[in-house]
Amino acid sequence: DQQVKQNSPSLSVQEGRISILNCDYTNSMFDYFLWYKKYPAEGPTFLISISSIKDKNEDGRFTVFLNKSAKHLSLHIVPSPPGDSEVYFCAASERGKLIFGQGTELSVKP
């Protein structure tokens, strides 16, 4: 029973273009959503988060959108340098416990 799903295992974008990573969830009790980036041989690093009472949060190059009626969130990264090529995880929080999606591997091509 996958409560948080990232249906695209991989995504390829051109350098300088916008990257859009998607995430769907099933549990309406989630109160907070987060995005993490993972480098090889390291633990995930926190990027940006959004409360369930908001629909948008922006921090530098990262913007997260939340559509509660569709139980969908997305991460927009603008622009995308080659250094952004890594695995991105979305996660949802229910009373502090984080449930993670499967991850999307972003590849930024020059």
Partner 1 sequence: NAGVTQTPKFRILKIGQSMTLQCTQDMNHNYMYWYRQDPGMGLKLIYYSVGAGITDKGEVPNGYNVSRSTTEDFPLRLELAAPSQTSVYFCASSYSRDRRNSPLHFGNGTRLTVT
Q: Which of residues 47-66 bind partner 1 (CB under 8 A)?
A: 49, 51
How many other CB atoms are found less than 10 A from the CB of residue 82? 11
Q: Which of residues 20-49 bind partner 1 (CB under 8 A)?
A: 31-32, 34, 41-46, 49
Q: Minimum CB separation from partner 1 for residue 50, in Å?
A: 10
Strand partners, 11: 106
Distances (CA, A) of 25 to 40, 91, 99: 26, 9, 10
Our CB check for partner 1 shows the closer of 11 and 79 to be 11
Residue in the block written with tokens 């051109």: 14
- Torsion over CA: 53, 26, 69, 60 (sign): positive
Our CB check for partner 1 shows the closer of 9 and 16 to be 9
Which residues of this chain interact with partner 1, rule CB under 8 A? Answer: 4, 6, 9, 31-32, 34, 41-46, 49, 51, 89, 91, 93, 95-103
